Amino acid sequence: LITLALESSCDETSVAVVRNGREVLSNIISSQVDLHKKFGGVVPEVASRKHIENISCVIDEALEEANITFKDVDMIGVTYGPGLVGALLVGLSTAKALAYSLNVPLVGVNHIEGHIYANFIEHKELKPPFICLIVSGGHTHLVHMKDYGVYEVLGKTRDDAAGEAFDKVARALGLGYPGGPLIDNLSKKGNKEAINFPRTYLEDKSLDFSFSGLKSAVLNYLNNNRQKGIEISVEDVAASFQQAVIDVLVDKTITAAKRCSVKKIVLAGGVAANSGLRELLTARCREEGFELKYPSLRLCTDNAAMIGCAAYYDYIKGYRADMYLNAVPNLKLGDK
Ligand code: ATP
Ligand code: MG
Ligand code: FE
Kindly report the pTM of this predicted structure.
0.97
Which residues form ligand 1's pocket by a CB distance below 6 Å? 9-10, 82-83, 111, 115, 136-139, 163, 166-167, 178-181, 184, 269-271, 273-274, 301-302
Pocket test for ligand 1, best of 112, 136, 294 (most atoms within 8 A of CB): 136
Asked whether the ipTM of the predicted complex exceeds the cut of 0.85, the reply is yes
State in Å: Cα 136 to ligand 2 middle. Answer: 9
Q: pLDDT of 267-295, one tens digit each? A: 999 999 999 999 999 999 999 999 999 99
For residue 77, the tally of other CB atoms under 10 A from its CB is 30
- The residue whose CA has the least distance to atom 2 of ligand 1 is 136
Which of 222, 87, 82 minimizes the C-alpha distance to 161?
82
- The residue whose CA has the least distance to atom 16 of ligand 1 is 270
pLDDT of residue 335: 85
pLDDT of residue 40: 86
Q: pLDDT of 211-238, one tens digit each? A: 999 999 999 999 999 999 999 999 999 9
State in Å: Cα 46 to ligand 1 middle. Answer: 19
CA distance 262 to 239: 31
pLDDT of residue 38: 87
Using pLDDT thresholds of 50, 70 and 90, give the confidence band for residue 256.
Answer: very high
Q: pLDDT of 52-95, one tens digit each? A: 999 999 999 999 999 999 999 999 999 999 999 999 999 999 99
Pocket test for ligand 1, best of 85, 133, 300, 301 (most atoms within 8 A of CB): 301
pLDDT of residue 336: 76
pLDDT of residue 265: 98
The DSSP-derived string for 206-253 is ---B--HHHHHHHHHHHHHHHHTT----HHHHHHHHHHHHHHHHHHHH
Using pLDDT thresholds of 50, 70 and 90, give the confidence band for residue 46.
Answer: very high
CA distance 248 to 210: 10
Quick one: what percent of the chain has pLDDT higher than 70?
100
Q: Which ligand is nearest to the CA of 134?
A: 1
Return the biggest CA–CA distance within the chain: 67
